Structure 1
């Protein structure tokens, strides 16, 4: 759980930068790729990463974001730009609308009383979870994947090293 606004801004700033790198690697052609028939496509999953009011709506936090029910754009650049704008708007909203004390207040999320600091924490973990799914689909689509918490196999090779097994 986040207990200070600065803690959230620093951590989410790093996480959103990692997500942004992956979104910039998407191509328009890759957006229709799906892991199996009837499952989310790469484009739908990427669009799902764009912050929206969903999980954060009960907290009363207001920020600029696409409607969570809107269709995913057919342009990878449009998805990456929407993510950039919405994640920055979220950071600005937390910085300008909340105080550290606001993180201790509760709102009803999924029928449970959650502190706002916990809601921000779960929001961030939700993004990390789906970012992991995104990297798998990107690999399957033959797209380059950048390291998030460590180098990828290709990044190890670029360093002249063999990736640990």
Structure 2
């Protein structure tokens, strides 16, 4: 849980940059890569990350740049752009509308009482969870995955090193 706005804002900016890199690596064709036949696709997961940022509005934040449509766009570029706008919108809203004191206030979230600082932490962890799923599907779709928390397979090779198995 965050107790200081600056803690969240610092981590959100870093995590959003990583997610933006993952989103920018998507292609229109890769959006169709399924987890399995009866589950979400890579495009559905990507759009879920975009649209889920809006749930923070239910906690009293007013955000100005959230996507209007419920259906995911067919374009990977549109999804990536929508993510960037939504991520910046959340950042601005938290910075302008909440304070360190606000982070300790409680709200009903999914039938439970959560402090706002815990909701922000959940938002980051939710993003990391689905971003991890996306990187696996990206590999299955034949894409190069950007560096997330360290070098990817291709980066090791570019550096003249033997990739880890």
If the length of structure 1 is used for normalisation, what is the TM-score? Answer: 0.94
Runs of 4+ residues over 2 Å off in structure 1: 51-54
The corresponding residue for 1:147 is 147
Is the 1:25–1:145 contact (alpha carbons within 8 Å) kept by the matching residues of 2?
Answer: yes
The structure carrying a bigger helix percent of its residues is 2
Shift of 1:62: 1.5
Equivalent residue pairs, number:
163
Is the 1:58–1:108 contact (alpha carbons within 8 Å) kept by the matching residues of 2?
Answer: no
Question: What is the aligned-residue RMSD (CA, Å)?
Answer: 1.2
The corresponding residue for 1:117 is 117
Structure 1 gaps, min length 5: none
If the length of structure 2 is used for normalisation, what is the TM-score? Answer: 0.94
Q: SS in structure 1 opposite 2:54?
A: coil
Is the 2:53–2:86 contact (alpha carbons within 8 Å) kept by the matching residues of 1?
Answer: yes
1:1-165 alignment, distance < 5 Å: 1-50=1-50, 51-54=52-55, 56-63=56-63, 64-67=65-68, 70-165=70-165
Shift of 1:157: 0.9
Shift of 1:35: 2.2
Q: 1:47-103 deviations in whole A, cap 9, x for unaligned?
A: 11114322x244211213125x70110000000000000000100000000111000
